[in-house]
Amino acid sequence: MKKEEIKKIIIIVIAVIILVSIILLVKGCDSTKSDLKKKGYSKDEINTIVEKLSESDINKILNMDYNKNLVSIINEQYYIPDNLERYLTYSNKNENIKDVISIVNVGADSDWYTNTKEANVDEGIKMLVNKFHYLKDDYLPDDIVPISNWYAYDGHSIKKEVYDKYVSMWKAANEQGLRLLVNSSYRTFEDQQKEYDMSNDDYASRPGFSEHQTGLALDIVTDDIIGNEFENTDEFKWLQENAHLYGFILRYPKGKEHITGYNYESWHYRYVGKELATKVKESGLTYDEYYAYYCEYKKAC
Ligand SMILES: [Zn+2]
């Protein structure tokens, strides 16, 4: 055979292989679509499913009953592919799909304090400590410094970086005629143990699960006004507008109890640094949700 002929044959063989592959691919896709149709999904639903889900996720769907919430779930802004089966399961209990996404992302489709894992302390000011992420009993933050009585009730301490930013914030608020006061700050595991022993799950975190052990959380109030009343003060209003500029976020907002696991606390602020605090505030998410989506899933926080 001439060289030219061999070349021709090779080209024809390659062309046939490509053609067959394309046919098989299209056929495969068609059979997926018809399988989804058999499950009860509409044409529009099928198009979204095929466009957005991986082959393995589609196979999972095909092993489950038709779910009317599937397309709403995968179209949600904070959808995380790994959570698909949990969203579907939880959507049988909760009709609000946005809530389903938030609750599953933060792990609150399990009971509080179950499926817990150790907080990633290497993340420093970004670390997440909540009812699913704990600090070990021997975790001691470095750089803990006392807080002057000028800015706090007696006997408080906090991480140096947080203290510096708190003092800047205190001064800015003070220029507006406002007076902030710290009434809770860094707590050791043992401090939290004592607090928990005197209380219960409704009012205190279990030891290891309190943000106060990070040295990054402050309870901020004003003269004579503590607890729920703090919400009605000018100091609170000022913090709402300005705390992020100093790196602080309101950690347990109103209406998010089912996501944070905490009652609304107008006084509890967490330091995460100005850049992240600003992003969290702008997102309108709790830190638990923000962390799950941006820090853990997107690796971008
Ligand atoms: Zn607190």
173-220 per-position pLDDT tens digit: 999 999 999 999 999 999 999 999 999 998 899 999 999 999 999 999
Name the active-site residue from 45, 211, 265, 289.
Answer: 265
Q: Is 241 a catalytic residue?
A: no
Are 9 and 53 found together in one domain? yes
Are 214 and 193 found together in one domain? yes
Are 131 and 272 found together in one domain? yes
Are 165 and 33 found together in one domain? no
Which helix (H) or strand (E) segment holds residue 157: the answer is strand 157-159
Q: If you measure from the C-alpha of residue 268 to the centroid of ligand 1, how many angstroms do you get, rounded to a whole number?
A: 4
pLDDT tens digit sequence for 246-282: 999 999 999 999 999 999 999 999 999 999 999 999 9
Q: If you measure from the C-alpha of residue 291 to the centroid of ligand 1, how many angstroms do you get, rounded to a whole number?
A: 19
205: CATH: 3.30.1380.10
- 135, 214 contact by CB (below 8 A): yes
3-state secondary structure at position 270:
strand
Residue 18 binned pLDDT confidence (cut-offs 50, 70, 90): low
List the structure tokens of 207. Answer: 């030891």
Q: Enumerate the β-bridge partners of residue 219.
A: 184, 268
Q: Enumerate the β-bridge partners of residue 271.
A: 248
Are 96 and 185 found together in one domain? no
Q: If you measure from the C-alpha of residue 219 to the centroid of ligand 1, how many angstroms do you get, rounded to a whole number?
A: 5
Q: What is the pLDDT of residue 224?
A: 86
Are 171 and 236 found together in one domain? yes
Q: What value does the mean pLDDT take over residues 14-43?
A: 78
Q: If you measure from the C-alpha of residue 15 to the centroid of ligand 1, how many angstroms do you get, rounded to a whole number?
A: 68
Residue 8 binned pLDDT confidence (cut-offs 50, 70, 90): confident
Domain boundary among 56, 87, 109: 109
Q: What value does the mean pLDDT take over residues 2-28?
A: 70
Q: What is the pLDDT of residue 130?
A: 98
Give helix then strand counts, H and E, for the chain. Answer: 12, 8
Q: What is the pLDDT of residue 15?
A: 73
pLDDT tens digit sequence for 70-128: 999 999 999 999 999 999 999 999 989 999 999 999 999 999 999 999 999 999 999 99
- 95, 184 contact by CB (below 8 A): no
- With a pLDDT cut of 70, the percent of the chain lying above it is 94
Residues written for the chain = 301
- 78, 293 contact by CB (below 8 A): yes
Are 278 and 248 found together in one domain? yes
Which helix (H) or strand (E) segment holds residue 5: the answer is helix 3-39
Q: What is the pLDDT of residue 7?
A: 83
Q: If you measure from the C-alpha of residue 59 to the centroid of ligand 1, how many angstroms do you get, rounded to a whole number?
A: 45
Are 224 and 239 found together in one domain? yes
Are 56 and 93 found together in one domain? no
Q: What value does the mean pLDDT take over residues 56-74?
A: 94
In angstroms, the CA 49 to CA 36 distance is 9
List the domain range (segments joined by +) for residue 186.
Answer: 117-297
- Nearest Cα neighbor of 267 from 215, 224, 230, 217 is 230
Q: If you measure from the C-alpha of residue 26 to the centroid of ligand 1, how many angstroms do you get, rounded to a whole number?
A: 57
- Nearest Cα neighbor of 235 from 254, 251, 219 is 219
Q: What is the pTM of this model?
A: 0.89
DSSP state of 168: H
Q: If you measure from the C-alpha of residue 97 to the centroid of ligand 1, how many angstroms do you get, rounded to a whole number?
A: 30
133-134 and 117-118 strand pairing: parallel
In angstroms, the CA 83 to CA 96 distance is 16
Are 229 and 81 found together in one domain? no
119, HSE (Cβ side, Cα atoms, 13 Å): 27
Are 154 and 229 found together in one domain? yes
In angstroms, the CA 283 to CA 266 distance is 19
Q: What is the pLDDT of residue 21?
A: 67
Query: Which residues are CB-neighbours of 143 under 8 A, at least 6 positions away?
Result: 159, 160, 161, 215
Q: What is the pLDDT of residue 226?
A: 84
Give the type of residue at 284. Answer: G
Q: What is the pLDDT of residue 254?
A: 97
Domain count, the chain: 3
Q: Is the pLDDT of residue 3 over 80?
A: no
Taking the C-alpha atoms of 201, 207, 213 and 217 in order, what is their torsion angle to the nearest 10 degrees?
0
Q: What is the pLDDT of residue 268?
A: 98
10 φ, ψ (degrees, to nearest 5): -60, -45
Q: If you measure from the C-alpha of residue 262 to the centroid of ligand 1, how many angstroms do you get, rounded to a whole number?
A: 10
Q: Is the pLDDT of residue 167 over 90?
A: yes
Q: If you measure from the C-alpha of residue 98 to the centroid of ligand 1, how many angstroms do you get, rounded to a whole number?
A: 27
Q: If you measure from the C-alpha of residue 274 to the centroid of ligand 1, how many angstroms do you get, rounded to a whole number?
A: 20
- Nearest Cα neighbor of 104 from 131, 85, 120 is 85
Q: What is the pLDDT of residue 24?
A: 60
Are 160 and 214 found together in one domain? yes
Q: What is the pLDDT of residue 185?
A: 98
Per the prediction, the chain carries an average pLDDT of: 94
